[in-house]
Amino acid sequence: MGLRLTIFTLLILLFLLLAACGGNTGFGADATTTDSVNITLATNPTNPQTGQVELVATVKDEQGQPINNAEVYIFANHTGHGGMDVQGKATNQGEGVYAVMTDFSMSGMWKVTVQVNQSQEIITQGFDLEVE
């Protein structure tokens, strides 16, 4: 159990380091981190406010076909206040759509990162999200 926790912690730290080094494409923009995967992000409600918000990631391959066999994790941190992080494993909704409910505790800018684990490949994409 200790080894698993250590490996998981190291993977999360690596992910956060990679996410910090990645460029921002802006919230809602079609953003491709590889030629093989296209990730988009939407929210429900469309204009997120503090409290419960559903984050919805759509994952498609290079031909625009939905990817349904991936594990998708969504991480968010408040850009103005360290330590204000939310994360969760998104559930497969079908047609390449993955969703997770989250609770934004504060308004302002949040950096949302979608991580797609497919086969031996891990793809991440960052989005900026303003919570009112």
Q: What pLDDT does residue 83 have?
A: 75
Question: Domain total for the chain?
Answer: 1
What kind and span of H or E run contains 85? strand 85-94
List 128's β-bridge partners, or say none: 111
Which domain, by its residues, includes 73?
2-131
pLDDT tens profile 24-37: 333 333 343 456 79
Question: Which letter, b or e, does each residue of 89-110 get, where b requires 16 or more Cβ atoms within 10 Å of its Cβ?
Answer: ebebeeebbbbbebebeeeeeb
pLDDT tens profile 45-87: 999 999 999 999 999 999 999 999 999 999 999 998 877 788 9
- Indicate yes or no: pTM above 0.85: no
Q: What pLDDT does residue 129 have?
A: 96
**Residue 123: CATH number of its domain:** 2.60.40.10
